[in-house]
């Protein structure tokens, strides 16, 4: 786990000493947009952009889901880093001993993801994270903020052949509700599990823990009365939440000490996760081997032995029972 400082790599864990033991996530550094008409300088075109992801990362996972559901897999090729993140940060497939599902980098021939960042900005300072959306034509990074990438995937490419224009995960009528839900879920659930897991003081951990389970309780009550998190149709709010929830029992419950309750102890949340998993195209984006190996093997400050637990047994294909609630 490291970062770039003026383009030079440093193997350095997060600094919680200056924050009272709290984990603070940095803002993403590349924030350009792809638009249908190219008014942003980046025109939506098939084959022009390349997506870099980790199958373990919940933030990158969002982009893979929207890419699959919108029918963008042929238009936007993808490279997948190895699940283990060592002293060199995210790495592409080891030519001699690659992990199943990991790939090389056909754009730059890079060994490490940090090389992509330096290619875009030689003096870059910041964490090297996934996802990354690269523009082959302008030879630069467009964006590394997952929340913005999924919105580009949702609508900017709708003019391309084969794209699912009937699916809109950020509809005008629900935008206010989606934004409101996203704000709480991001702060207390998506990022909340990291705030608990990477905390280095008891107070910081307990603060994050309490906020996390307060929100999980709220979400379970909400899902008892409506099919999806922002209403009665699937929106980006559901996919942003799903990628954290599907990792909860395998990783966050034990590895990050988020152990007040398991996800399977929430009847409506657990059924909701199974329903989303069973949406056509989604199961293929979920790789529990990469997920478990990344967290347990990579975070040696949290799990010094690097031992990956065998459990838990999760039946994501079991009937979800959500049909009792009306869907749009």
Whole-angstrom distance, CA of residue 291 vs CA of residue 235 = 24
Alpha-carbon distances, residue 193 vs 96, 251, 257 (angstroms): 34, 10, 9
Residues 6 or more apart whose CB falls under 8 angstroms from that of 313 comprise none
Active site residue 258: no
Q: What are phi and psi of 141, to 5 degrees?
A: -85, 130
| Alpha carbon of residue 71 to chain centroid | 19
> Residue for token digits 């996203």?
182
CB contact at 8 A, 185 and 70 = no
- Asked whether the CA dihedral 300, 305, 309, 310 is positive or negative, the reply is positive
Whole-angstrom distance, CA of residue 44 vs CA of residue 34 = 6
For residue 86, the cross-strand partners are: 89
Q: Rounded to 5 degrees, what angle do the CA atoms 282, 68, 33 make?
A: 130
Instruction: Choose, from 117, 194, 266, 272, the residue flagged as catalytic.
Output: 194
Q: How far apart, in Å, do the first and last CA atoms of the chain sit? A: 43
Active site residue 252: no
Instruction: Choose, from 57, 252, 272, 277, the residue flagged as catalytic.
Output: 57
Q: What are phi and psi of 4, to 5 degrees?
A: -95, 140
Q: Indicate the SS3 state at residue 253.
A: helix
User: Concatenated DSSP letters for 124-155?
Assistant: --EE--S-EEEETTTTEEEE--HHHHHHHHHH
Would you please indicate which residues are annotated as catalytic (active-site) residues?
A: 57, 194
């Amino acid at each position: 786990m490291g970062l770039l400082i003026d383009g030079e790599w440093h193997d350095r864990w997060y600094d919680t000493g200056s924050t009272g033991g709290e984990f603070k996530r940095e803002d993403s550094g590349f924030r350009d947009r792809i638009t249908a008409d190219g008014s942003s300088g980046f025109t939506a075109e098939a084959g022009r952009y390349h997506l870099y992801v980790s199958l373990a990362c919940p933030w990158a996972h969002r982009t893979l889901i929207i890419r699959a559901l919108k029918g963008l897999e042929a238009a936007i090729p993808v490279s997948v880093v190895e699940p283990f993140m060592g002293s060199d940060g995210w790495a592409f497939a080891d030519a001699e001993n690659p992990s199943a599902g990991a790939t090389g980098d056909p754009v730059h021939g890079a060994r490490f993801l940090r090389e992509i960042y330096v290619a875009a900005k030689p003096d870059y300072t910041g964490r090297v994270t996934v996802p990354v959306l690269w523009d082959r034509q302008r030879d630069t990074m467009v964006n590394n903020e997952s929340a913005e990438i999924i919105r580009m995937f949702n609508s900017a490419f709708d003019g391309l052949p084969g794209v699912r224009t009937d699916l809109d995960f950020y509809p005008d009528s629900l935008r206010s509700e989606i934004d409101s839900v996203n704000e709480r879920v991001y702060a207390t659930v998506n990022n909340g599990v990291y705030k608990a897991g990477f905390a280095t003081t008891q107070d910081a951990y307990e603060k994050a823990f309490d906020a996390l389970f307060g929100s999980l309780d709220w979400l379970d009550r909400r899902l008892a009365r409506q099919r999806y998190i922002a209403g009665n149709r699937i929106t980006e709010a559901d996919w942003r939440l799903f990628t954290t929830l599907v990792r909860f029992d395998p990783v966050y419950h034990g590895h990050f000490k988020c152990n007040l309750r398991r996800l399977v102890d929430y009847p409506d949340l657990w059924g909701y996760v199974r329903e989303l998993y069973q949406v056509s195209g989604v199961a293929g984006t979920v790789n529990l081997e990469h997920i478990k190996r990344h967290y347990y093997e990579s975070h040696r400050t949290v799990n010094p032995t690097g031992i990956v637990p065998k459990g838990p047994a999760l039946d994501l294909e079991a009937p979800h029972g959500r049909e009792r609630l009306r869907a749009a």
